[in-house]
Structure 1
Amino acid sequence: MNAADDFIVRGDNLTKRFERQKLDTITALDRVSFGARPGALTALVGPDGAGKTTLLRLAAGLMRADEGSLTVLGLDAAKQPQAIQDRISYMPQRFGLYEDLSVRENLDLYADLHGVTPEQRAERYPRLMEMTALAPFLDRLAGKLSGGMKQKLGLACTLVRSPELLLLDEPTVGVDPLSRRELWDIVSGLVENEGLSVIVSTSYMDEAERCAHVVVLHEGHVLASGTPQELMSRASGHSFLAMSQRGTPARKLQADLIDRPDVIDAVPHGGQVRVVLGDREPLSLQDVTFEPTSPILEDSLMMLLRHKTDEQPAANAALELTRKDSLDHSEVVIEVHDLVRKFGDFTAVNRTSFEVKRGEVFGLLGPNGAGKTTTFRMLCGLLPATSGTLKVAGADLRRARAEARQNIGYVAQKFSLYGDISVLENLQFFAGAYGLRNSRAAQRIEWALDNFELKQRASSTAGSLPGGFQRRLAMAAALLHEPAIVFLDEPTSGADPLARREFWRRIGSLADHGTTIVVTTHFMEEAEYCDRIMIQDAGTMLAIGTPEEVRRQAGSGGEPAHSMEDAFIGIVEQGRERAQRQEHAA
């Protein structure tokens, strides 16, 4: 066997360019070389615009490289794309399910497209249903499935035939931790039990740690590659856990640390702050202790990105606000009592009650289909409640939704931007929609361009922006009218670690100035930035409190759960077990 036979995919000096507007050329990949071995998991990681999706699409035979060579299953990707497509399966980020067709009909459609015989379907379908736990939902419309179930159906459709290579582009974006774990159990089982070769792009570094080989991309270049252990060793001696002796909340300690030039990264974790330092010696800070800890892959990624860009992970991200809110953090600005929302006979939210105070960061967490988005939309005044009390910024949302919306900023999961007009024109439109006129509108637009570093892209169309800049623009538009309360629905879904640090630095500065934040997220590390969180499932509130209180609720033997992800999964599973016992008892 020669060296080339050791790889199921091998790329050498791959370059891919895209023509944009008016002779503007983007180099998505610049002399990239990498290899993926058979029967193993290979991860592609890196920030937005790194080239991960482009590399997968080249491997799938959907595009040709401008320069370099690429072999897939021993075939030349430039000359034999159809032969490659006949032997692989590719699941893009937005997998094309047909929402008006049932689970079974979607499977049949993809089986027809791939020429899967009735005999092969009879053998394959039961295994796919067992693997994905979708058997009870064969006749349900795909559009009625939760986000996690849709992803599992997409994976099942991708596997209706037996591929030699599986390509997965961000398969767990927008998926809750429980469904994410289930998806990875499926993929790992395919690799371990069937010897399937898999290449996956991901924003989750804990997912990349499960892979045999990791390729780190940045702006079309390979920064590093190797086993997770090889990459993690780069951060050896640089990783610490920091804790305030004064009881400063982890969010505030993290904000103080991440602005320091000698800190490469800082993120809340388990009530402490995980810190990556430029030196191997802990900082000497009054009332803050630093304990060495084993590095994780995200530590190494942040070191690589910092050395490449020579910028702070959240440099200049703190916002300068012109309006100064009341800093009376005892003031209740959101009141919810016995909130109910029904869709026909289905109860999406069942008698939920909570309060949120001024300047608080409040997290709504739950599995896909738990009712948190319904709760979120009622809080924003986008959906009426069936019953209960709901007051936002002093306005009763059951009677005066328009009045309440004047005090609300909203960032939707699928950013409500106009892709065909420029960044500046988007800001002008939203300023007008919020009632800002003349000099006031001009002042607020200038503020948005400055604080979100959008001046250099003011004339670019919103649709042409990288994902991170679209996220900035959506946030800037929501803050133009200086709302007292900001609602953020999955604002960092699909974002890389660098973009998430920057985003949360902005959120922290807003809260510090008295703006109230309500956020939904599937990144459990982000729950640690919240002052309090609520976990819902099946429309019922399962837990509410500070991150520490929720971790303790999920812990055992008096010890809190190690991480918020462990706590989330534990609380949801406990809640489902209780519900099953009550159902059986009835």
Structure 2
Amino acid sequence: MSEDCIRLSDVSKRFGSAAPALDHLSGRVGGGEITGLVGPDGAGKTTLLRLMTGLMVPDSGSIEVLGFDTRREPAGLQAQIGYMPQRFGLYEDLSVQENLDLYADMRGLALVDRPAAFAELLRFTDLARFTGRLAGKLSGGMKQKLGLACALLKKPRLLLLDEPGVGVDPISRRDLWAMVRDLTKDGTGVVWSTAYLEEAEACDRVLLLNGGKLLFAGPPADMRERVTGRVFKITGISGRRRPILARLLERSEVMDGVIQGEAMRIVVGPGDRPAALIDRAIAGLDAGALSAKPTSPRFEDAFVDMLGGGPGGRSKLAEVARTLDTTDPKPVIEAHGLTKRFGDFTAADDITFAIPRGQIFGLLGPNGAGKSTTFKMLCGLLKPTAGEGRVSGYDLRRESAQARNQLGYMAQKFSLYGDLSVAQNLEFFAGVYGLAGAHKTERIALLGEVFDFGPYGAMSAKDLPLGIKQRLALACAVIHEPAALFLDEPTSGVDPITRREFWTHINALVEKGITVLVTTHFMDEAEYCDRIALIYHGRSIALGSPGALKARVATPEAPDPTMEDAFIALIGASGAGGQS
């Protein structure tokens, strides 16, 4: 076993009169390995990382980092570590090289050592071609790589990373993991904080936090063991999968479930005969020749099970939503040759697709590929250079007001008014969408009840927990009962339980005839879509169902690829060079 980089002994931390941010934690982080600091929003991950850096001290207990006590010797340990905060402080109006120069000054890197250090880090991060580019003009993945380079300017014995994968596409995420894994070969210890439980699978060890308490410490395989034999893949489904999943999630035998392309992934409760439980759950569904076969458990399956299961299949939001005519053959969202140029740069080039009523359509692509540009043109936030976009038959150029009234928009970054309360945000957006009088009052009251905003009604939006912010953003997007929902990375950074609650609402709304356009970097969320357009270098390089895209990259050696495998293979086949 490698020597410990960090020892935590009965650590507690509280802010004001709130519940403890950290509650009597003990654990260890080894050198030469990646330790995942895993848990939902508000679990205490960022607080623990800041304690590890010596930027804060615990209320009780002790933390030893690289042999230094964080209370008595913070300066000593800070000279030995690299730290990349969640919102890394790159200077967006400085170039890549100017940011490196600045951080070299701040870290006290000798002038004579800088050329070799810069050359190694630029090679390591594949940023050598972009030294003159402003940091603000980099894609999300490239910003994270630059942030990592700045954290590594003086080779640390310990590297602390606070959610470096948030908002980063699968290709850039793999690059980051490969870079960090290389560091451990020389004995560097790494703490990788994340709310993405698929990232936990890649760690050597995991510290799993929830509500400030340590729920699990050990290798990911030990966590998965708790649901071994209880995870099933259901195939042979006929008809629409979403209502079938909703019915299954209401069964007492079922702890969790998600859509996986044409199939479903179901976790049943504990017991001596899990096969009997899944057979009982699917009996009488009348959904085709269903087949339930055991499949390999994931860390996320075990985590949701540990917390008592998912939120169920009922959506109060959908229950009060109007039902739209799903037999109407006319598409709800249309892109015809959409093109956007910024000077001599073409961000989106001849994008064409149509989305019928009651479908989820996914726009996928690497950071900087053009999917956000396409998305913004279709929801009226960006005027196309050429081509046409329509929502519910309204042209986004000539009938923009009518088109916008037919759609609800949920932005990638929380875009509500932080200084307004929950109630004031609902009031404001209801007015923006033209609601008035008794109808406006009724919709605000109804959504407040559906999302249980009562305890938060007077709280400023900026102070809400992330899960409640997401509920509020969704409530504001649907307050006027739109025909289409535009969701731009809607669950980035939120925990698995909140994500499941969100998708329970979306799946149920789609069954009521709402049409959804979504961008996401979660490949499991891509599986929820009916169809996907994969955007790369501004062009649509693949269009089809998740199953069809995975089938395109299947080989005799890998006959059952994941959606992430398909994403990376299709981008590679399209000639992926570095991002630009």
TM-score, normalised to structure 1's length? Answer: 0.93
**Equivalent AA in structure 2 for residue 266 of structure 1:** G
Mapped pair 1:15 → 2:12? yes
**Equivalent AA in structure 1 for residue 192 of structure 2:** V
**Equivalent AA in structure 1 for residue 50 of structure 2:** R
- In structure 2, the partner of 1:299 is 301
SS across alignment from 1:418: coil
Q: Deviations over 1:21-67 (max 9, x none)?
A: xxx52421111222111221111111111111111111111212112
Mapped pair 1:195 → 2:187? yes
Q: 1:257 to 1:197 in 2, by over 3 A?
A: same
SS across alignment from 1:319: helix
- In structure 1, the partner of 2:480 is 481
Q: Deviations over 1:324-353 (max 9, x none)?
A: 222225321122111110000000011111
Q: Deviations over 1:59-98 (max 9, x none)?
A: 1112121122111111111222222222111111111111
CA distance in structure 1 between the aligned counterparts of 2:419 and 2:195, rounded to whole angstroms: 27
In the TM superposition, what is the alpha-carbon distance from 1:18 to its structure 2 partner?
A: 1.5
Choose from 232, 240, 257 the match for 1:240.
232
2:237·2:262 contact (CA, 8 Å) conserved in 1?
Answer: no
In the TM superposition, what is the alpha-carbon distance from 1:558 to its structure 2 partner?
A: 11
In the TM superposition, what is the alpha-carbon distance from 1:219 to its structure 2 partner?
A: 0.6
Q: Deviations over 1:382-440 (max 9, x none)?
A: 11010112211111112121221111110111111222222112111211222222321
- In structure 1, the partner of 2:407 is 408
Mapped pair 1:183 → 2:180? no
2:357·2:513 contact (CA, 8 Å) conserved in 1?
Answer: yes
In the TM superposition, what is the alpha-carbon distance from 1:475 to its structure 2 partner?
A: 0.6
CA distance in structure 2 between the aligned counterparts of 1:276 and 1:411, rounded to whole angstroms: 30
2:13·2:22 contact (CA, 8 Å) conserved in 1?
Answer: yes
1:410·1:486 contact (CA, 8 Å) conserved in 2?
Answer: yes
SS across alignment from 2:490: coil
- In structure 2, the partner of 1:283 is 279
Choose from 220, 229, 236 the match for 1:228.
220
- In structure 1, the partner of 2:245 is 254
**Equivalent AA in structure 2 for residue 261 of structure 1:** S
Q: Deviations over 1:526-577 (max 9, x none)?
A: 0111111100001010111111111122223598651111111111111126
In the TM superposition, what is the alpha-carbon distance from 1:257 to its structure 2 partner?
A: 2.3
Unpaired runs of at least 5, structure 1: 581-586
Q: 1:189 to 1:232 in 2, by over 3 A?
A: same
CA distance in structure 2 between the aligned counterparts of 1:570 and 1:329, rounded to whole angstroms: 36
In the TM superposition, what is the alpha-carbon distance from 1:377 to its structure 2 partner?
A: 0.4
**Segment of structure 1 superposing worse, 404-413 or 255-264:** 255-264
Choose from 82, 87, 98 the match for 1:94.
87
CA distance in structure 1 between the aligned counterparts of 2:81 and 2:257, rounded to whole angstroms: 40
SS across alignment from 1:47: coil
Q: Deviations over 1:435-477 (max 9, x none)?
A: 2223212211122112222222212221111111111111111
CA distance in structure 2 between the aligned counterparts of 1:311 and 1:351, rounded to whole angstroms: 41
1:97·1:106 contact (CA, 8 Å) conserved in 2?
Answer: yes
Q: 1:405 to 1:324 in 2, by over 3 A?
A: same
- In structure 2, the partner of 1:115 is 108
- In structure 1, the partner of 2:286 is none
- In structure 1, the partner of 2:130 is 137
Mapped pair 1:37 → 2:30? yes
1:317·1:505 contact (CA, 8 Å) conserved in 2?
Answer: no
**Equivalent AA in structure 2 for residue 254 of structure 1:** L
In the TM superposition, what is the alpha-carbon distance from 1:99 to its structure 2 partner?
A: 1.1
Q: 1:143 to 1:38 in 2, by over 3 A?
A: same
- In structure 2, the partner of 1:516 is 515
CA distance in structure 1 between the aligned counterparts of 2:237 and 2:474, rounded to whole angstroms: 33
Q: 1:452 to 1:412 in 2, by over 3 A?
A: same
1:270·1:563 contact (CA, 8 Å) conserved in 2?
Answer: no
TM-score, normalised to structure 2's length? Answer: 0.94
2:321·2:512 contact (CA, 8 Å) conserved in 1?
Answer: no
CA distance in structure 2 between the aligned counterparts of 1:263 and 1:483, rounded to whole angstroms: 32
- In structure 2, the partner of 1:162 is 155
- In structure 2, the partner of 1:369 is 368
Mapped pair 1:104 → 2:103? no
1:318·1:505 contact (CA, 8 Å) conserved in 2?
Answer: no
CA distance in structure 2 between the aligned counterparts of 1:298 and 1:92, rounded to whole angstroms: 24
1:444·1:480 contact (CA, 8 Å) conserved in 2?
Answer: yes
**Equivalent AA in structure 1 for residue 362 of structure 2:** G
- In structure 1, the partner of 2:63 is 70
1:551·1:560 contact (CA, 8 Å) conserved in 2?
Answer: no
CA distance in structure 2 between the aligned counterparts of 1:443 and 1:210, rounded to whole angstroms: 48
* Fraction of identical pairs, as percent: 48
Unpaired runs of at least 5, structure 2: 284-288
CA distance in structure 1 between the aligned counterparts of 2:511 and 2:188, rounded to whole angstroms: 49
**Segment of structure 1 superposing worse, 416-425 or 144-153:** 416-425
CA distance in structure 2 between the aligned counterparts of 1:367 and 1:329, rounded to whole angstroms: 34
Q: Deviations over 1:125-178 (max 9, x none)?
A: 121111111111111111111111111111111111111110011101000001
Q: 1:576 to 1:253 in 2, by over 3 A?
A: farther
CA distance in structure 2 between the aligned counterparts of 1:228 and 1:473, rounded to whole angstroms: 34
SS across alignment from 1:327: coil
Q: Deviations over 1:212-270 (max 9, x none)?
A: 21111111111111111111111112111112x34345544433322322211112235
CA distance in structure 2 between the aligned counterparts of 1:157 and 1:217, rounded to whole angstroms: 28
1:102·1:139 contact (CA, 8 Å) conserved in 2?
Answer: yes
**Equivalent AA in structure 2 for residue 283 of structure 1:** D
CA distance in structure 2 between the aligned counterparts of 1:78 and 1:320, rounded to whole angstroms: 54
Choose from 260, 272, 280 the match for 2:263.
272
**Segment of structure 1 superposing worse, 121-130 or 348-357:** 121-130
SS across alignment from 2:467: helix
- In structure 2, the partner of 1:219 is 211
2:411·2:489 contact (CA, 8 Å) conserved in 1?
Answer: yes
1:393·1:404 contact (CA, 8 Å) conserved in 2?
Answer: yes
- In structure 2, the partner of 1:209 is 201
CA distance in structure 1 between the aligned counterparts of 2:405 and 2:240, rounded to whole angstroms: 31
SS across alignment from 1:242: strand
1:250·1:528 contact (CA, 8 Å) conserved in 2?
Answer: no
Choose from 46, 54, 59 the match for 1:53.
46
Stretches (4+) displaced over 4 A: 249-252, 313-318, 557-561
Q: 1:519 to 1:560 in 2, by over 3 A?
A: farther
CA distance in structure 1 between the aligned counterparts of 2:444 and 2:72, rounded to whole angstroms: 50
